[in-house]
Amino acid sequence: MQDVLAMTYLWLKAGHIIFVIFWMAGLFMLPRYFVYHQEAPEGSPEAAEWANRERKLLKIILTPSIIAVWVFGLALAASLHAWDQGWLHAKLLLVLALSGYHGWLASYAKKLARGERPLEGRTLRMLNEVPGVAAAIIVVLVVVKPF
């Protein structure tokens, strides 16, 4: 029975890592798309194409990936019985924050599609760093388990 549980754990871990990579790639790409979208003339065919790309990125990569990340991640935590570990609490807090960031990006994509441009390109370029910083902290939490 231990062998089955060990193999299940490894498959859960592999699935989690795969979908984290997909999700992070999308979180890096979408703000960059926003920069290009905002640089396109308002109402132009180019702006419409960027809106279409943003919608596809959200629908095809980001949304399925965030769901898979949460499903695999919660299954991993359950298999490890890690609910009482401080590093997991900190990781979950950061993943919850990244999930909120993902939701904000989705809402900003809708604003851009409507022709609204509330943020400057510089701000969007800075926001592009959020997932990288969060990922670095999460990796340290998971590998080092400082608490």
Q: Can you say which residues are annotated as belonging to the binding site for heme?
A: 16, 91
Residues making up the binding site? 16, 91
Helix (H, G, I), strand (E, B) or coil at 119: coil
SS (H, E, C) 32-92: HHHHHHHHCCCCCHHHHHHHHHHHHHHHHHHHHHHHHHHHHHHHHHHHHCCCCCHHHHHHH
> Which among 109, 146, 140, 143 has a CA at the least distance from the CA of 124?
109
How far is 14 from 101, CA to CA, in rounded Å? 24
- Tell me which amino acid residue 114 is: R
Which residues are within 8 A (CB) of 122 and not within 5 positions of it... i.e. 6 or more apart?
none
Q: What is the DSSP letter of 3?
A: H
How far is 63 from 120, CA to CA, in rounded Å? 25
